[in-house]
């Protein structure tokens, strides 16, 4: 489902953020991505979401080479890839409901259907009662869960999560990961960047480790 072939990402100011990355993730796999701060986890995820392009090498998602994807097909690609951002990326002047509904609104889903699916997604992250609040009125962890609901609501076949539980307490983190596991069982491919080593070792999923932009460890499928 996701394949990196000798991928480099160089930032002019910094040098190589990613070097010679090679791996493949099958459909329905749930994979953790770990590594120290600045190792390149977010950069790797951004390449998959096509927020950036690699300096060298190829990224393939669902058999399609992102390097040759015409620009007008970027939106189409983004709808296939749900993204949970480290900094949430919520719209501060819209309600939680509207924030979560955004992926459905831009694809032209019928309003009735939107209401149903947004509430289902909010229910999954335990925020059903806050749908009328704005992000400002939510705690960091709640905002994070809104971001998760927004990534889930379009039912994308690929889910990328960048520190999705960074602001959550252990119990809540575990619940979110259990939610992710349920998605895995229905065939969603997940790639989750996280620092939460205790959860990573508990949950026993395949883990990729980055160090200074290099892939230093791949546990393989469990």
The binder of ligand ATP chosen from 7, 39, 101, 125 (CB under 6 A) = 39
Q: How much is the CA Rg of the chain, to the nearest whole Å? A: 17
Q: Helix, strand or coil for residue 167?
A: coil
Which ranges constitute the DSSP H helices of the chain?
A: 41-48, 74-80, 96-107, 111-124, 140-153, 170-185, 197-203
Find the part of the chain contacting Mg ion (CB under 5 A) among 13-21, 59-67, 70-78, 84-92. Answer: 84-92
The binder of other proteins chosen from 10, 16, 55, 128 (CB under 8 A) = 128
Rounded to 5 degrees, what angle do the CA atoms 8, 42, 70 make? 60
Choose the contact partner of 35 out of ligand ATP, other proteins, Mg ion, none; CB within 5 to 8 A by kind.
ligand ATP
Give the C-alpha separation, 41 to 212, whole Å. 10
Say what the alpha-carbon torsion angle 191, 192, 193, 196 is, to the nearest 10 degrees: -150
Which DSSP string do the residues of 112-126 spell out, in sequence order? HHHHHHHHHHHHHTT
Q: Work out whether 3 is an interface residue with other proteins (CB under 8 A).
A: no
Choose the contact partner of 147 out of Mg ion, other proteins, ligand ATP, none; CB within 5 to 8 A by kind.
none
Q: Work out whether 170 is an interface residue with other proteins (CB under 8 A).
A: no
CB of 218 to other proteins, least distance (A): 25
Compare residues 126 and 166 and give the one whose CB is closer to other proteins: 126
The binder of other proteins chosen from 48, 83, 161, 210 (CB under 8 A) = 83
> Which residue in this structure is represented by tokens 């039912």?
155
CB of 79 to other proteins, least distance (A): 4
The binder of Mg ion chosen from 34, 42, 124, 143 (CB under 5 A) = 42
Residue numbers at the binding site for ligand ATP (CB under 6 A): 11, 13-14, 17, 35, 37-43, 86
């Amino acid at each position: 489902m996701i394949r990196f072939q000798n991928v480099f990402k160089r930032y002019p100011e910094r040098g190589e953020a990613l070097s010679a990355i090679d791996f493949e993730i099958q459909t329905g796999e749930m994979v953790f991505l770990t590594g120290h701060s600045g190792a390149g986890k977010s950069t790797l995820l951004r390449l998959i979401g096509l927020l950036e392009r690699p300096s060298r090498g190829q990224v393939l998602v669902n058999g399609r080479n992102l390097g040759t994807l015409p620009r007008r097909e970027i939106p189409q690609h983004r709808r296939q890839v749900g993204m949970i951002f480290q900094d949430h990326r919520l719209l501060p002047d819209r309600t939680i409901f509207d924030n979560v509904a955004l992926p459905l609104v831009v694809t032209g889903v019928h309003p009735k259907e939107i209401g149903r699916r947004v509430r289902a997604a909010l229910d999954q992250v335990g925020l059903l009662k806050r749908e009328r609040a704005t992000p400002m009125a939510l705690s960091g962890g709640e905002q994070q869960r809104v971001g998760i609901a927004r990534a889930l609501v379009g039912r994308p076949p690929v889910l990328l999560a960048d520190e999705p539980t960074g602001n959550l307490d252990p119990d809540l983190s575990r619940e979110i990961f259990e939610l992710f596991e349920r998605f895995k069982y229905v065939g969603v491919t997940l790639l989750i960047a996280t620092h939460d080593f205790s959860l990573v070792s508990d949950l026993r999923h395949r883990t990729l480790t980055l160090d200074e932009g290099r892939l230093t460890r791949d546990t393989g499928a469990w």
